[in-house]
């Protein structure tokens, strides 16, 4: 099949490469001409802009995969494509767009006869080699039409043991992609996926912090352990119940530098964690771990907050407690 890819960052470029590796033809464009040129030299058809990209897609219905950061840049790109494509054509947003924006956008594009798919895409920089886990929302006919594209991008069955009792279920899930539901459902599922990711990462980070601080001289000497974090991460990879890709990445980082000295500890959040907590509030679903992991990321970007100053002032007021370092 032939597909246009707009946005050739870390994931967009590798999505194009994986599709070409599977025999699909890609027409690519990025605002950075050098990036477009690189993919052109690798076999993609390089476009000079969105009108040129659409013009280089002779197959109908035409499909354009937009892989850009959520927000204005994605909104403007899809609006432009909406004026260039024809009824029946398909626009895919494979970034981390807020699902409510998908619902609004899908309705607007449907008025023009265009089909819109929101595709939650997980796999990061490893997707080229490992494949991408895809969570798709939108029109079922459009999803079926693009099945060869999704199958090429997904990991496939691989070596993971098959789940007993799935006979008769949709086989696509075992291959790494699902049609989650109507427009918005794909990004909603991916949003919750990322919220869970926040919680898993925070639990692992806190665990290793407790292990590291067992060497503190504030503990009784016979309860003080100087633990090898790299070895612990490695042994947990082999047969333990916390084995995971996140643990693999942690073990790799600790093997390179057990002090993680090149990292500041300032942790960004890209939006999905916030949206997950908002969804939990809308549904009145308790989400203690996910909310706490999000707030911890906020905290990582500050030194001391005004709230902590208020706490110190209250402690000094009722008990004369002086802050450490000011005695």
What pLDDT is attached to residue 320?
81
Q: Which of 56, 174, 190, 272 is catalytic?
A: 190
What pLDDT is attached to residue 213?
94
- Are residues 61 and 145 in contact, defined by beta-carbon separation less than 8 angstroms? yes
What pLDDT is attached to residue 303?
83
What pLDDT is attached to residue 326?
67
308 is catalytic: no
For 61, the 3-state DSSP assignment is: coil
Q: DSSP letters along 100-158, please?
A: HHHHHHHHHHHTTT-EEEEEEEE-GGGHHHH--EEEEES-HHHHHHTHHHHHHHS--ST
In angstroms, the CA 138 to CA 98 distance is 15
Kindly report the number of other CB atoms within 10 A of residue 307's CB atom.
9
In angstroms, the CA 205 to CA 210 distance is 9
Round the CA-based radius of gyration of the chain to a whole number and report it.
Answer: 24
What pLDDT is attached to residue 125?
86
197 is catalytic: yes
Name which of 118, 113, 72, 126 is nearest 99 in CA terms. 118
| CB-count burial class (<10 Å; 0-12, 13-18, 19+) for 87 | exposed
Which residues lie below 8 Å from residue 28, measured CB to CB, with a gap of 6+?
A: 4, 5, 6, 8, 16, 36, 39, 40, 44, 45, 46, 47, 53
- pLDDT tens track of the chain, all 327 residues? 999 999 999 899 999 999 999 999 999 999 999 999 999 999 999 999 999 999 999 999 999 999 999 999 999 999 999 999 999 999 999 999 999 999 999 999 999 999 999 999 999 888 999 999 999 999 999 999 999 999 999 999 988 889 999 999 999 999 999 999 999 999 999 999 999 999 999 999 999 999 999 999 999 999 999 999 999 999 999 999 999 999 999 999 999 999 998 888 888 888 999 999 999 999 999 999 999 999 999 988 888 777 778 888 878 888 788 888 765
What pLDDT is attached to residue 68?
96
In angstroms, the CA 82 to CA 88 distance is 11
Give residue-wise pLDDT tens across range 242-291: 999 999 999 999 999 999 988 888 888 889 999 999 999 999 999 999 99
Q: Which of 42, 75, 100, 197 is catalytic?
A: 197
Average pLDDT in the chain: 94
């Amino acid at each position: 099949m032939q597909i246009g890819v707009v946005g050739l960052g870390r994931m967009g470029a590798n999505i194009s490469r994986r599709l070409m590796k599977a025999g699909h033809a890609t027409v690519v464009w990025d605002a950075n001409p050098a990036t477009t040129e690189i993919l052109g030299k690798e076999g993609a058809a390089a476009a000079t802009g969105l009108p040129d990209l659409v013009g280089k897609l002779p197959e109908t219905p035409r499909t354009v995969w937009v892989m850009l950061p959520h927000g204005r840049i994605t909104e403007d790109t899809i609006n432009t494509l909406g004026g260039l494509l024809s009824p029946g054509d398909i626009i895919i947003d494979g970034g981390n767009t807020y699902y409510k924006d998908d619902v609004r956008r899908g309705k607007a594009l449907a008025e023009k006869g265009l089909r819109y798919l929101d595709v939650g895409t997980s796999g990061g920089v490893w997707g080229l080699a490992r494949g991408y886990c895809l969570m798709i929302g939108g029109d079922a006919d459009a999803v079926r039409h693009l099945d060869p594209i999704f199958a090429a991008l997904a990991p496939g069955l691989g070596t993971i043991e098959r789940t007993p009792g799935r006979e008769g279920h949709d086989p696509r899930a075992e291959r790494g992609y699902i049609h989650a539901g109507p427009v918005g459902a794909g990004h909603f599922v991916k949003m919750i996926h990322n919220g869970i990711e926040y919680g898993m990462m925070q639990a692992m980070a806190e665990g290793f912090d407790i292990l590291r601080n067992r060497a503190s001289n504030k503990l009784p000497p016979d309860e003080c352990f100087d633990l090898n974090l790299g070895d612990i991460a490695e042994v947990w990879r082999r047969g333990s119940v916390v084995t995971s890709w996140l643990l693999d990445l942690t073990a790799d980082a600790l093997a390179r530098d057990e002090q993680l000295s090149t990292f500041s500890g300032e942790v960004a959040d890209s939006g999905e964690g916030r949206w997950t907590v908002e969804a939990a509030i809308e549904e009145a679903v308790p989400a203690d771990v996910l909310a706490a992991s999000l707030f911890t990321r906020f905290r990582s970007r500050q030194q001391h907050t005004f709230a902590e100053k208020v706490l110190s002032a209250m402690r000094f007021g009722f008990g004369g407690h002086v802050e450490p370092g000011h005695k």
